[in-house]
Amino acid sequence: MWLSLSLALCAVAVMALIWFLPPWLWRWSQQHKKHFEQHSEHHFAASFVFLRGQDIFTFFIVFLGALLLFFWLMGGSLFLLAVVMGIGFFLWPLYLRVLKQRRLARFERQMPDYLLALAGALRAGSSLAIAMQRITPLSHIPLSQEMGLLLREQRMGISPTEALERLYLRMPCESSSLFKSAIAVSGQSGGGLAELFESMAQTINQRLYVEGRIRALTAQGRMQAWVMALLPLLIGGALYVIDYQLIAPLWQQPSGQMVLVAVVLLELIGLWLIRRIVNVSL
Question: What is the pLDDT at residue 189?
Answer: 65
Question: What is the pLDDT at residue 107?
Answer: 92
Rounded distance, CA 224 to CA 270, Å? 11
Rounded distance, CA 102 to CA 99, Å? 5
By C-alpha distance, which of 43, 41, 168 is closest to 102? 43
Question: What is the pLDDT at residue 3?
Answer: 47
What pLDDT digit, counting tens, does each position of 208-217 carry? 888 888 888 7
Question: What is the pLDDT at residue 280?
Answer: 65
Question: What is the pLDDT at residue 202?
Answer: 92
Please give the single-letter amino acid code of residue 146. Answer: E
Q: What is the pTM of this model?
A: 0.69
Q: CATH says 105-216 is which class? A: mainly alpha
Question: What is the pLDDT at residue 2?
Answer: 47
Rounded distance, CA 274 to CA 270, Å? 6
Question: What is the pLDDT at residue 78?
Answer: 59
Q: Is residue 80 within 8 Å of residue 254, measured between CB atoms?
A: no
Question: What is the pLDDT at residue 115?
Answer: 93
All residues at 6 or more sequence positions from 264 whose CB lies less than 8 Å from its CB, including other chains? 83, 87
3-state secondary structure the chain: CHHHHHHHHHHHHHHHHHHCCCHHHHHHHHHHHHHHHHHHHHHHHHCCCCCCHHHHHHHHHHHHHHHHHHHHHCCCCHHHHHHHHHHHHHHHHHHHHHHHHHHHHHHHHHHHHHHHHHHHHHHCCCCHHHHHHHHHHHCCCCHHHHHHHHHHHHHCCCCHHHHHHHHHHHCCCHHHHHHHHHHHHHHHHCCCHHHHHHHHHHHHHHHHHHHHHHHHHCHHHHHHHHHHHHHHHHHHHHHHHHCHHHHCHHHHCHHHHHHHHHHHHHHHHHHHHHHHHHCCCC
Residues of the chain with confidence (pLDDT) below 50: 1-3
Report domain extents, the chain: 105-216, 218-282
Question: What is the pLDDT at residue 50?
Answer: 75
All residues at 6 or more sequence positions from 104 whose CB lies less than 8 Å from its CB, including other chains? 171, 172, 173
Question: What is the pLDDT at residue 277?
Answer: 78
